[in-house]
Amino acid sequence: MTVQIAPSILSADFAALGAAIAAAERGGADLIHVDVMDGHFVPNITIGPPVVKSIKRVATVPLDVHLMIEEPDRYIDDFASAGASMISVHVEVLPHLHRTVHAIKALGVRAGVVLNPSTPIVMLEEIAGDVDYVLVMSVNPGFGGQTFIPRSVSKVRAVRDLLDRAGNRSAPVEIDGGIDIQNVARVVAAGASIIVAGSAVFHSADAERATRELKAAATAAASLPAR
């Protein structure tokens, strides 16, 4: 299993995003995770398509856009045009999730679905064969720097099993929230292969080094046989 590291710029200095992204990329970032929040689905407000477009100009790795917004269908085109390579949407806000997933794919963008910590995996049962990846939230979305919810480890394992049973072995499980050098091996061992990390990277003294160390720990865990 190949593991990808996706530093979340939510915890970076927004006045110096270009430098933050460059440091993460030097450390081996495989993706840049972009958190979009609307003040409705989650309490916080962050950024929209114009900022994604600017980031796209400087990033050399694909942009992984996580939409924590109430009406994602209204904005998918804009984020795709702005340069998103991956767009994930929360199952909690979408009564027509199948339509949304296929609308994202029709734009040539990888489509991910996200589960909040309290959302059961059964919500994915009918869509597991259609998605390009599943994002398991290991904190309640809205803010960086929160504490990892331990139950997320078994949830990652169960989502991995569901995707495998649906014949969607190539679809990775992404994990987001409270990941650091202490717990990354555990989530990788459970089957997570896209690792988001915000404060562990950008609140460290050296984002390049933090990215490199996280990737090394994740890669080492991925090479172990059992999970």
By CB under 6 A, name the binding residues for ligand DX5: 8, 10-11, 33, 35, 66, 139, 141-146, 176-179, 196-200
**Long-range pairs of 40-43 with CB within 8 A, sequence gap ≥ 24:** 40/69, 40/70, 41/68, 41/69, 41/70, 41/90, 41/92, 41/93, 41/141, 42/68, 42/141, 42/142, 43/142
Which residue of 7, 17, 32, 35 would you call a contact of Zn ion, by CB under 5 A?
A: 35
- 78 included as an active-site residue: no
Total binding residues toward Zn ion, as defined by CB under 5 A: 3
Considering beta carbons, is residue 10 or 23 the nearer one to ligand DX5?
Answer: 10
Distance from C-alpha of 143 to C-alpha of 203, rounded to nearest angstrom: 13
Considering beta carbons, is residue 90 or 157 the nearer one to ligand DX5?
Answer: 90
The residue sitting closest to Zn ion, measured at its beta carbon, is 66
Choose from ligand DX5, Zn ion, none: what does 144 bind? Cβ within 5-8 Å by kind.
Answer: ligand DX5
Among residues 13, 30, 35, 64, the one annotated as catalytic is: 35
Q: Which of residues 41-100 bind Zn ion (CB under 5 A)?
A: 66
Find the shortest distance in angstroms from Cβ 191 to ligand DX5. 19
Q: Which of residues 173-192 bind Zn ion (CB under 5 A)?
A: 176
All residues at 6 or more sequence positions from 178 whose CB lies less than 8 Å from its CB, including other chains: 138, 139, 146, 147, 148, 149
Distance from C-alpha of 19 to C-alpha of 23, rounded to nearest angstrom: 6
Choose from ligand DX5, Zn ion, none: what does 163 bind? Cβ within 5-8 Å by kind.
Answer: none
- Decide: 31 and 201 in contact? Cβ < 8 Å: no
Q: Write out the two tokens for 177.
A: 């929230």
Site string for Zn ion, 138-177 (x = CB under 5 A): --------------------------------------x-
Distance from C-alpha of 52 to C-alpha of 169, rounded to nearest angstrom: 30
The residue sitting closest to ligand DX5, measured at its beta carbon, is 198
Among residues 130, 161, 176, 206, the one annotated as catalytic is: 176
**DSSP letters of 57-114?**
HH-SS-EEEEEE-S-GGGTHHHHHHHTEEEEEEEGGG-TTHHHHHHHHHHTT-EEEEE
Distance from C-alpha of 209 to C-alpha of 204, rounded to nearest angstrom: 9
- 176 included as an active-site residue: yes
Find the shortest distance in angstroms from Cβ 35 to Zn ion. 4
Choose from ligand DX5, Zn ion, none: what does 197 bind? Cβ within 5-8 Å by kind.
Answer: ligand DX5
Binding positions for Zn ion, rule: CB under 5 A: 35, 66, 176
Catalytic residue numbers, as ranges: 35, 176
